[in-house]
Copies of this chain bind each other. A is one copy, B any other.
């Protein structure tokens, strides 16, 4: 019966591993951003996090940030300008190669990274409480196995 196919499909769509992963990801990410906002960083958007994540000590090229984030230089360039306008990073021409632009954290940027780490730790602790410490480690290991396809 077609109806049976449809019912089975609907049921599948609800319990699917892909959907569970997507929901869990969205949920964790939303909670992370909510806590960052509560900590005084309401102006940072999720898409801007990769800018911070790609920074390295001593200053980092926009191209390098783009590659780390897996996106085009153009997109990263725009993100960098946004985050700079928010006051978290500063840019300056690379003295050793005037084609390049070096991106560095400002003091506010350092404070943001500290807060982000604290928030992430808090969230991790919450999950450890809910899943058990061993359960959380096991979850991480299984996710890595899922990714390593």
Contact = CB atoms under 8 A, between A and B. Distances in A.
A117 interface: yes
Nearest to A3: B57
Contact of A20 (B58, B135, B143): B143
Given A13-B52, A53-B13, A140-B17, A27 B146 contact: yes
Given A6-B55, A20-B144, A23-B147, 4 more contacts: A5-B117, A15-B140, A17-B136, A21-B143
A86 interface: no
Given A6-B56, A53-B9, A130-B145, A24 B27 contact: no
A22 B13 contact: no
A5 to B, nearest CB: 5
How many copies of this chain are found per oligomer?
Answer: 2
Q: Is the interface of A mostly helix, strand, loop or mixed?
A: helix
B52 A9 contact: yes
Contact of A27 (B16, B55, B120, B147): B147
A128 B144 CA distance: 14
